[in-house]
Structure formats: structure tokens, C-alpha cells
Structure 1
Amino acid sequence: MKAVISDFGGVITLPLDEAFAQAHEEIGIPLSALGEAMKLAASRADEPPLFKLERGQITDHEFTAIMAASLSEVTGREVVLDGYGERLMRSLRPNEPLLGYYAQLKAKGVRLAILTNNVREWQPRWMPLLPTGMFELIVDSGFEGVRKPEPKIYEITLSRLGLEAGECAFVDDLEVNVQGANAVGLHGVHFRTTEQTIADLESVLGT
């Protein structure tokens, strides 16, 4: 096994639920309302607006306007989401134990890459969380026009690494993305806890 391709949010960072909870506490909107608003917005479109945001097909500003309108309808009061992405990114915390393990792998010659479903405008806010020089490649859906679990984004990542799918492990906290990775021949590892993920990677990597 020559490389580990890792998701960012909820893997390299601590659980995203914690970041969302903090952001929603700051703006005074229950986190449960976000889920309802997401469902409402999705019911009125051909697919969830989040998917279009993560492909870079709509802007952060456009997505925020959609969600503010949906949250206003769900909560029964006007909701303003100015600076929502900034709050969310500020709430992210690095998963230091996993990053420490990745550093050990890199020292052994294992190549490291990131494949993330993310927001184009948010990249400058989350990139500083990464240790300098640890990851040789970052593939961000917001710049690619495709998102996990669509096969093309895995293929883009492999092409840029110059590796075959069978030579790479893939880590993600969403099972659907792991299934997508497995479908193109990657060795998928479903992140549930840091300890479990390290153990699973050790097994896959044969270290």
C-alpha cells in the first residue's frame, strides 16, 4: 500500500457535530432546525443545495441565502446567517492523535493526500489546520465540479497521485463515501473512532 487518502472534516478534525453545535449556539438557532431546513430546501430542488455547493455550482452566498430562508420558515422567525461559514470553520479542532499517526506513516514512506467534499470559499479558513507539508495533494470538491461518492472525484485523486486504486487506502467518516471508494477499487476504511481507524489502517497497510 503506497498512500492513504483521507477525508478532512470529521476525520482530520474532531467530529463535525461539535463544530455545528458551537456555531448554532453562537447564532441562537437549534441545531435540529438545521436538519429540518436542509430537508425543506432539498424537497424544493432537484437535489440538496448542499451538493451543488460542494461541487462549486452555487456560491457560499447563494447557499447561505437558501438556508436562511428555509431556517426562517422552520423557526417561524427571520434568520440571518451572515458569517455562518466563518463561525463553523472557527469551531473546527484538529484530530491530533490521528494527525500524529499520519505523521508516522509519512515517516515510513506512505504518501498522504486529502479528498474532501468542501466549500470553495472556505478553503483559506480550514487549510491552516493542516500540518505544513504533511499532505502532498488536496482534492477539494468545491474546485472540481464533482463530489464524493461520485466515481470521478476518486479517479481525479488517483490520477494526480499517479497510483492505482488498489495501492491506496481511503478514510472517511461517511459510509456512503467509503462505499463509493470501494466501488472504484480503493481500500475503504470507515472512520468511527480514531483508535478503530488506526487499527483498521494498520491492517490494510500491513504495518
Structure 2
Amino acid sequence: MAVEAVIWDFGGVFTSSPFEAFNRFEAERGLPKDLIRRINATNHHDNAWALFERNEVDAGRFDELFLEESTALGHPVRGADVLPLLSGQVRPRMVEALKTCKQHFKVGCITNNVVSMHSPGQDEIQRAAGAMGQIMPLFDAIIESSKAGVRKPDPKIYMMMCDLLAVEPAACVYLDDLGINCKPAAQLGMKAIKVSGVDQALGELAEATGLSFPAAEPA
């Protein structure tokens, strides 16, 4: 089936991965590398992250639950200390690729997010808001987990996007930086691209869509 829509994750796709910030935080605190990812992967349907991204708990309760979960793994970390790490730097070539795709296909965004990432007024949240403000208006449809009450990797959220765009899953390309989120998209029939870097992602997107995307700027 011909491609009719390209569906994108946001963080880790249009912005640098929060995992980089997680690792810096862990190194600064003398914590095991990838501790935060391990906490988030434990009981991933019903842990603190899952509840917060479905807007089932507020920021205060998330802070408490994350502390409980990290303590259970032997390294107490407050949720409030982790939330500021979610912001990343915008990847301009990915934004340009979105604009190119929009000229040829329907484009949508499925993002797991939270209602209030952390205290307003800090530089990180202002940067994140600025990035989203630039990019989000480009999409034909957007699904935010905190508003929809469902989050990736639940297959329902992918089908919700297909309904909004009026396309079949087999006519979609899906990009996400997490394999766990790509898997259900692929199982539904989408062409799933796990984003591990800009060059890799745009190469696979070009192959899937037949479009051309800008190369990296010379060093």
C-alpha cells in the first residue's frame, strides 16, 4: 500500500533524546548508568511515569511514586529532580523533513507527555515550550497521552491517530526513538522506524517515502 501518512513521536525525534540528559544526571549524582531508564521500564504500564503520562496522578504524587520506585531499586531519586531533564535541543533537519513530508502526505504526532513537566519559569520548560510552539502547528493531527488518557505502547493510541488522519495503518510510516513504541506500530502494519540518529532516521524515511531530505551540514 502506498504511503499516505507519516506519524511522528516528538521527544527524541525532533529534539535530542532525554536519555542523554538522564545519563548526565546519573553521572553527576554517582548513580548507575541507565538507572532512570530501568525505573521507567519496571512495571511500565502502571508505574509512576505511566500514571503521570495518562494524567492519572499530579506532579506531587508522581514525585512521591518515583521516589518509592527508585528507592526499591536501591537508589532514591525524586521524580521532581528528573522532570527537568525531559527537555532537549531541537534537531533542525528533522523539522525540515517534517515540512517536506507535509507537502506530500498527511502528518501526525503521537507523544507521551505530562500536563505539567515541572515548575514553570525555568529555562528548560521555556525551551521545550518554544520547540513545541514551532513544530506542533505543522501537524494535521496531534495526540497527547496526558489529554487522551492513553499512552504508547497501547495499540489504541495508534489507531486513534489513524482514525484522525482517515488512513489505514498499512499506509503509515511511524518514527519513534523507543523500540517498545515502534513494535505495536509495526504489528498494526505501519512501517516503523526506530530513531537512533538523524542521518539514520532520514535515510530510512527517504527509503520508505521516496522523498529526499537535506544532508548534514559540512563540519
Match of 2:97 in 1: 101
Is the 2:5–2:172 Cα contact (8 Å) retained in structure 1?
Answer: yes
TM-score normalised by the chain length of structure 1 = 0.79
Match of 2:53 in 1: 54
> Per-residue deviation at 1:84?
4.3
Which has the higher mean CA deviation after the structures are superposed, 132-141 or 2-11? Answer: 132-141
Match of 1:35 in 2: 36
Match of 1:181 in 2: 185
Match of 1:198 in 2: 202
User: Could you give the per-residue CA deviations for residues 171-206 of structure 1, whole angstroms, max 9, x where no partner exists?
Assistant: 011112111001122221111221111111111112
> Per-residue deviation at 1:109?
2.8
**Alignment pair present for 1:162 and 2:166:** yes
Gaps of 5+ in 2: 212-219
* Structure with the higher fraction of residues in helix conformation: 1
Is the 1:55–1:146 Cα contact (8 Å) retained in structure 2?
Answer: yes
Gaps of 5+ in 1: none
> Per-residue deviation at 1:52?
1.9
User: Quick one: structure 1 residues 75 and 188, their matched pair in 2 at CA, closer, same or farther if it must change by over 3 Å?
Assistant: closer
- 1:5-154 aligned at under 5 Å gives the runs 5-22=7-24, 28=29, 30=31, 32=33, 34-35=35-36, 38=39, 42=42, 47-71=46-70, 74-75=74-75, 82=80, 84-85=82-83, 87-89=84-86, 91-106=87-102, 108-122=103-117, 125=125, 126-130=128-132, 131-132=134-135, 133-154=137-158
User: Could you give the per-residue CA deviations for residues 79-109 of structure 1, whole angstroms, max 9, x where no partner exists?
Assistant: 6554642x224x4111222112222222x33
Which residue identity does 2:31 align to in structure 1?
A: P
Q: Distance in 2 between matches of 1:177 and 1:75?
A: 27
TM-score normalised by the chain length of structure 2 = 0.75
Is the 2:62–2:79 Cα contact (8 Å) retained in structure 1?
Answer: no
Pairs aligned (count)? 199
Is the 2:22–2:36 Cα contact (8 Å) retained in structure 1?
Answer: no
